[in-house]
Amino acid sequence: MTAHRRVADVMQILDSLKVVPVWVDPNHMVESARVLMDGHDLSALCVLDRDGQPIGTLRRDVAAAIPGNARVGEVMESVLGILDANDTLRQAADLLVRIDRHYAPMMRNGEFRGIVTALDLLDGLRRSWDPMTDLPWSDELRRWGAEQLDAGREIAIVFVDLDRFGSFNKRFGHVVGDRVLTRIADFLRERIDPATDVLVRYGGDEFAIGTLRTARDTQDLAASLLATSRETPLMEHGEAIEFSVGVYGGQRQRERDDMHVQATLDDLINFASRRCIASKATVPSSPSASSPAPAPSSANLTSVPEAVPTPEPAPVQTISEPLPAFMSRPSEE
């Protein structure tokens, strides 16, 4: 199993799935169960005891084949496994395989939340994964980031945005544009460490890396990405594929106090993105190839532009010390 596949194993938790908390009592008639399954378009129904705990399940096809006046408790299947709302899609899939069922009840804090089916898991995977680049979408960055912040760890965001990507699409077509995105995804994937980093396709021609690296190591990562892209540029139809980078986070300003996790994540992502956008302002609208571009160095690690102010720390947020903005590798002229 490759490193980037291990990142995908923790893509999304079950609580994000849309399930319906519909159930029946073991003393209910099968006809009642049929009505509930038909009304909510369910393939199976959970049977709960008086304490609200799962004790059985009833499949739709089974209910359709037996008399409606039969008691649910007489025809239900035993519960072989119970899922938790905080389980990942991978963990849920492993359980279904282990118990040889296509569904299982899901609980959250001791409360029944609904039946999770194999189709639910497949749909969740489809929505959270970009098959073209073989990367998760931005919801995985937010899930990963929330998990790290909740555990008291510091994170940083490296935002990567392709330069002049629109010109590839306009001049060479979307097939070439898709190939450019795939090659950049592979380039970034080969340079992260799954033990500390998570790589996502943020949207369009944007990628993001969440990392547990120190502030300095995060700067080094971004500088290395730019330097490597110059030394061994990715070429497509005779043109170098270039990108701009913005970094934010990795070092707290003060002790955490009533931190709002989602607000902190929003700030980290937003300011990394804005620094990336600010650096793109120096990128020419079209490439040329008359002189070599200088290698990224400390000169590329300038202070954040005035257009991207450092945020004032809010009472419920913890924002790290600003790191230098990474400028795009100058294009050859």
Give the three-class secondary structure for 265.
helix
What pLDDT tens digit does each residue of the chain (333 aa) get?
333 333 334 346 788 888 999 999 999 999 999 999 999 999 999 999 999 999 999 999 999 999 999 999 999 999 999 999 999 888 899 999 999 999 999 999 999 999 999 998 888 777 778 889 989 889 889 888 988 998 889 999 999 999 989 888 888 999 999 999 999 999 999 999 999 999 999 999 999 999 999 999 999 999 999 999 888 888 888 888 999 999 999 766 444 555 688 888 999 999 999 999 998 766 555 554 333 444 443 333 333 333 334 344 333 333 334 444 444 444 443
Q: Where are the domains of the chain?
A: 3-126, 131-326
Q: Dump the DSSP string for 195-255.
A: TTEEEEEEETTEEEEEE-S-HHHHHHHHHHHHHHHHHS--EETTEE--EEEEEEESSBSS-
Angle between helices 261-280 and 138-150 (to 10 degrees): 130
131-326: CATH superfamily: Reverse transcriptase/Diguanylate cyclase domain (3.30.70.270)
> Which CATH architecture best describes the domain 3-126?
Roll (3.10)
